[in-house]
Amino acid sequence: MALNGLLDIELAVKNPQELKDFWLKNGLIADASGSLGTADRKKQISIVEDTYRHLSAMHLSCENESDLALISRNLTDMGVSSVIQGTTLTCTDPIFGHQILIEVGKPTPLTAPPVRTLNGPGNAVRVGERADVLGETSPRPPRRLGHVVLGTPHFEKATDFYVNGLGFKVSDQVLNGFATFMRVETDHHNLFIHPGFTSHINHYALEVDDVDAIGKAGMAVLADRPDANVVGIGRHNLGANIFWYLTDPSGNMFEFFSDMDQITDDEDWERNHCKRDWEGADGPAGFSVWGPKEPESFINQPDLLEIAAAREARGLI
């Protein structure tokens, strides 16, 4: 199986216009259908209305039509029905309940960012000029939807669905194997599933150019929403991405990130790095290698009881 891209997601929230306005102000642009994206990738986040916040769809790509057939067979084996129409497979996530769409294709390539000239000890490359970030009148906009993090009490079944059903590759596991970083691209993770009180989206993550872009974008959010800060800036151990987590107006947490570990040789990663429990003494442990640690609200988000009640009312596990 060869999934090769996380194309876009759909978020269901109570007030879609409020969330759309937030992202239009913070660097995303709307396409003809009203979805949000960037100059390179027009559709990355769609927003619909519902009575509670949740991920309502995840759109992936794969290399060819035989991948769809294999995924469909694997899903059938685990009791999940799917439909292939043309070059698109659709199914429903059996745990979270969102729609999964997989189409033959691949993500649109990204334009490389303008290079900054950064001075270092013994390496003065910007002389007689101020740093370019000072001259940027607005933050560099988000570039791409990079990953989604989901929490659920049914984390083992959910992880099995994504790894053995859809074909996500495991990059790392923590919490004695209960929490799993998975990828479909070269990013260390496009999806992380961890134990949680109820099935919910923990955060979605937008890649930006670099640490300056994270800092300026985060500060722009705080200028309008002073209570939006959750945790940052820091650098994660697993994935190594520089992060800043904030909340959007819908109550979803999101992340601005840059400089994530890239995995292009799956066998090398499998052989030398993958599937260890990094909580032990033989590897990096914890939330960040530098920067603040996660607050209690990072995992136990304040509206989980409300989400649990909404899911129960719809018969979702």
Question: How does DSSP classify residue 237?
Answer: S
Q: What minimum distance in Å lies between the beta carbon of 210 and Fe ion?
A: 17
Nearer to Fe ion by Cβ, of 75 and 238: the residue is: 238
Residues in a beta bridge with 243: 234, 257
List interacting residues with Fe ion (CB under 5 A).
205, 255
Q: What minimum distance in Å lies between the beta carbon of 59 and Fe ion?
A: 19
Q: Judging by DSSP bridges, how do beta strands 144-152 and 288-290 pair with one another?
A: unpaired
Nearer to Fe ion by Cβ, of 93 and 207: the residue is: 207
Nearer to Fe ion by Cβ, of 3 and 205: the residue is: 205
Q: What minimum distance in Å lies between the beta carbon of 296 and Fe ion?
A: 17
Q: What minimum distance in Å lies between the beta carbon of 255 and Fe ion?
A: 4
Q: What minimum distance in Å lies between the beta carbon of 55 and Fe ion?
A: 14
Pick from 156, 215, 145: nearest CA to 187: 145
Q: What minimum distance in Å lies between the beta carbon of 19 and Fe ion?
A: 19
Kindly state the helix (H) or strand (E) to which residue 118 belongs, with its residue range. Answer: none
CA distances (Å), 61 to each of 4, 105, 153, in order? Answer: 6, 5, 27
Nearer to Fe ion by Cβ, of 7 and 205: the residue is: 205
Question: How does DSSP classify residue 131?
Answer: -
SS3 141: coil
Question: How does DSSP classify residue 239?
Answer: S
Q: What minimum distance in Å lies between the beta carbon of 288 and Fe ion?
A: 12
Nearer to Fe ion by Cβ, of 23 and 257: the residue is: 257
Q: What minimum distance in Å lies between the beta carbon of 69 and Fe ion?
A: 32
Q: What minimum distance in Å lies between the beta carbon of 176 and Fe ion?
A: 21
Residues in a beta bridge with 49: 13
Pick from 277, 282, 269, 274: nearest CA to 178: 277
Nearer to Fe ion by Cβ, of 89 and 238: the residue is: 238
Which residue type occupies 27? G
Cα atoms found within 13 Å of the Cα of residue 280, Cβ hemisphere only: 7
Whole-angstrom distance, CA of residue 119 vs CA of residue 129: 11
Q: Judging by DSSP bridges, how do beta strands 88-92 and 45-49 pair with one another?
A: unpaired
CA angle 29, 63, 102 (to 5 degrees): 55
Nearer to Fe ion by Cβ, of 5 and 239: the residue is: 239
Nearer to Fe ion by Cβ, of 209 and 255: the residue is: 255
CA distances (Å), 169 to each of 161, 180, 183, 195, 274, in order? Answer: 12, 10, 5, 19, 10
Nearer to Fe ion by Cβ, of 256 and 269: the residue is: 256
Pick from 59, 146, 45: nearest CA to 104: 59
